[in-house]
Amino acid sequence: MKICIERSDRMGDMILTLPVIQGIKQKNPQAIIHVVASKKNVNICKQFSLIDKTYEKSTSSSSFNNLIKSITAEKYDYYFTFSPGWFGLRLGFFSRSKFKSSLILQSRYKSSVFSKLGQIIFSKLFYSLSLVVDRFKSLNTNNNIHQTKMMIDVISKSGLEIGENIKTEFIFSNVLKLNKRKPVCVIHLSSKWINNYYSEDVFIDLLKLLEERNISIYLTSDETTKNKFSKIFDIFPVFNNPKDLLKNNENIIICNNFDFENWTSVINQSDYVITPESGCTHIASLTKCKLAVIYDSDNSPKNIKNEYAPWNKEYLALETNDKGLNQKLLNFI
């Protein structure tokens, strides 16, 4: 049996799909599973041993046509598209898979019969199964619409057996070995830290208070960091080369623009991870660290938690407008 799963969006979405793949393999050990992934997600897929082949999404017409040829040649028994948008639906249409299934999520912010209407009609016409979820209604009636749970529902409704209570452990190699003199706390410098409720100066106050806890603090950056943070790059030492961490004697450092393998190595060896809701949340969810996740209070935090909470991982959930945020993070350590 050959299965193709399209998950060509964000890093967190891919990690929330890993328990689904693991659940399929648990009940169908001989199944061959291929994944169509975004550029960011390819790194995750290639290190998850239960994925037999990974295709990378490309937006160019020629690359899409080549991908169609590759997917068609595989002659899949099942094709599942879980990412929002038309890319996965179009790819599935051309895939010639025996059984095609889609997951279509309507708006979580308002009730509208027109939300994703075109995609719904398309999938009803050309797909064997289309699970349409009215997120606004479901969230207001406290239905369980966690991303992983919804994908499991699609697999199950498609006639495949799947294990449901799956815990995926860390899947990445520690290419970088930290010289740990004391407990390590990773704080991810997503731009989501800085908002109407929380400033860079307050963040610096938090770092100074944490420094008194006798821990090493590794600040990891991403492409959004420089948009909101500037002062900390003048205050704390910046490490651009991961190998230089072995020589580090500072309590607080910035791990600047580490590649994926080195970044995940740092997270995997940390004792604590503090991060706004982001891909870092889900990378950390695969580790044994204590995890604190900060949700944007202006972006339906309760709903985001319901849909994207780390799967089978205990964690501390906080919100950006919490006036006691720094104290709660101090208590977390």
Per-residue pLDDT, averaged over 245-263, amounts to 90
Residues 158 and 319 sit within 8 Å (Cβ to Cβ): no
pLDDT at 177: 87
227 or 202, which is more confident?
202
Q: Which residue has the tokens 């606004």?
A: 136
Q: How many CB atoms lie within 10 A of CB 234?
A: 7
Q: 74 pLDDT exceeds 90?
A: yes
Q: Which of the residue ranges 2-6, 108-112, 141-145 would you say has the lowest mean pLDDT? A: 108-112
Contact predicate 279/298, CB 8 Å: no
Candidate from 101-115, 154-168, 251-265, 293-307 with smallest mean pLDDT: 101-115
Q: What number of residues does the chain have?
A: 333
What is residue 40's DSSP assignment?
H
CB 269 within 8 A of CB 186: no
Q: Which residue has the higher pLDDT, 143 or 126?
A: 126
* Residue whose tokens read 């009940």: 27
Taking all residues of the chain, what is their mean pLDDT, rounded to a whole number?
Answer: 93
Sign for the CA dihedral angle at 179, 292, 223, 81 comes to positive
Of 214, 229, 224, nearest to 272 (Cα)? 214
How many CB atoms within 10 Å of residue 110? Answer: 8
* SS3 assignment, position 3: strand
> Does the structure show a pLDDT above 90 at 49?
yes
Q: Which residues pair with 33 in a beta bridge?
A: 3
Structural contact between residues 310 and 11, judged by C-beta atoms closer than 8 angstroms: no
Distant-in-sequence, close-in-space partners of 220: CB < 8 Å, separation ≥ 6: 186, 187, 188, 189, 255, 258, 263, 266, 267, 280
For residue 125, is pLDDT > 90? yes
Q: How confident is the model at residue 57 (pLDDT cuts 50, 70, 90)?
A: very high
Q: Which residue has the higher pLDDT, 214 or 158?
A: 158
Q: Is 13's pLDDT higher than 80?
A: yes
Which pLDDT score, from 0 to 100, does residue 139 have? 82
Does residue 284 sit in helix, strand or coil?
helix
**Is the whole-model pTM more than 0.85?**
yes
